[in-house]
Amino acid sequence: MVQFHQGFQHLESLTYLNLSSNNFRGNNLNGSIPDSIGNCTSFEILDVSYNQITGEIPYNIGFLQVATLSLQGNRLTGKIPEVIGLMQALAVLDLSENELVGPIPPIFGNLTYTGNCICMVTSLQDQYRQSLAI
């Protein structure tokens, strides 16, 4: 089993990290997403789909300037941090197939995209679905 490491804070110039396509997809990458993930401001894509990542989505993930954020198919819990709704570069967001709870944050209705937006969220109360352009 491979675990997330707090060393993300030292990868400031990393521009692309896709752990699902690099033989990590479905390889039981486990542990929680470290708060230091927000220090990786040069990421363009963060895809850690289909692993065994647990815990809550850290608030600091909202500091990323990614176009794609895919956390699909893990065991994430808790609410979606509202700060994700402020991610201006975000074009693809996939939080499906997790154990997230609560409503979709209303701020998501204010997101504007320069291209196509794919937003997939499941297992949530969808009282704000009408405010989202999905």
The class (CATH top level) of 6-131 is: alpha beta
Where are the chain's structural domains? 6-131
Q: Which pTM does this prediction carry?
A: 0.73
Q: What does each of the 134 residues of the chain score in pLDDT, given as a tens digit?
A: 445 555 555 666 766 665 544 444 566 778 898 888 888 777 788 888 888 999 999 999 999 888 888 898 999 999 999 999 888 888 888 898 899 988 888 887 776 655 555 666 665 544 444 444 44
Alpha carbons 132 and 41: distance in angstroms, whole number: 26
* DSSP state at residue 111: -
